[in-house]
Amino acid sequence: MYRGLFDVLAKHPDCYFQLFTNATLITEDIAQRMNKLGNVTPLISIEGLRDESDRRRGRDDVYERTLRGLRMCREAKLIFGVAASICKSNFDDLVCRKHLEDMAREGAAFMWYYIYRPVGADAHPENALSQEQIRKLREFIVEQRRNAPLLIIDVYWDAEGKAICPGATGMSHHISPSGYVEFCPPLQMAMERLNSEGSNLVEICQRSEYLADMRKMIAETTRGCILMESPEKLADFLESHGGFETTSRATFLEELKRMHHVAGHDMKDKAIPEKNPLYMTLKKRYFFGFGAYG
């Protein structure tokens, strides 16, 4: 959809990019272009099987068109992954061995599981996972990592199974399309913006009182996701700090105030540690490492 995208990627051959997409617009030519670039990995979102994909995307034939795009990537010999935001309506279809095997047969190198967050103007808190389903998701991930036909990735638990918030640890933040440095993708408010060269990014991440206060407040509140567990405390924090809303809707704060409490991924004393030694090492040293915790 953005015609200059691949030109931007080509200007930075020393960087690695993940392209989040539902793959419905990936053609043979586009897949071959990504192959030639050599620094981009498509992460293809499959939010359910046929009926669920159509419902979530508001279109017809979404699942089949996504699979066609996925197969274009496979034929172009791209390394690519598949992602899913798990909720009640797709849990049984996607949190199962069959889905992993199907995606592996289609050529996916990794599966990335997310937990559905009911945010936005048309949030559906009734579709959020229960605490028991989150526990089952964690158990499934840990068990399947022992012999799954592809890599399984999550960003919710450390090697010991303790909940983690990448933003609260300082491991990562999010840059909006307009250049605002946000705490994380669902929290669409900010205090600082990149300059035209982006040369102030490190300074913002290291010296922003807003980001530092947010990290401190969340770390004192939960190891999990404050957006899901305590939206009213988050709204109070954002109002008191006078953050600038980065959405085109200009309604994020009001949406946040209307949010319901839903289950988060902090299982406290019921943590489920990794069982696969390789994944435990990767999480400790590479995936969550970089001095963020441990």
Give the chain's domains with CATH numbers: 5-164+267-287 (3.80.30.10), 166-257 (no CATH)
- Mean pLDDT by runs of 10 across the 294 residues of the chain is 93 94 95 96 87 70 90 96 94 95 96 92 92 97 95 90 88 90 93 95 93 94 93 94 87 91 92 91 68 39
Instruction: Provide the pLDDT for residue 290.
Output: 44
Q: Residue 248: what pLDDT?
A: 85
Assessment of whether the complete model's pTM goes beyond 0.85: yes
Q: What is the pLDDT of residues 48-86, one digit of tens each?
A: 776 776 676 766 778 899 999 999 999 999 999 999 999
pLDDT tens string 211-247: 999 999 999 999 999 999 999 999 999 999 988 899 8
Can you tell me the distance from the alpha carbon of 27 to that of 1, in angstroms, rounded to the nearest whole number?
A: 12
In this predicted structure, what is the pLDDT of residue 279? 85
Tokens of 94: 């996607």
Q: Which single residue is written with the structure tokens 């669409």?
A: 188
User: What is the C-alpha separation between 265 and 131, in angstroms, rounded?
Assistant: 8
| Contact status, residue 181 vs residue 193, Cβ threshold 8 Å | yes
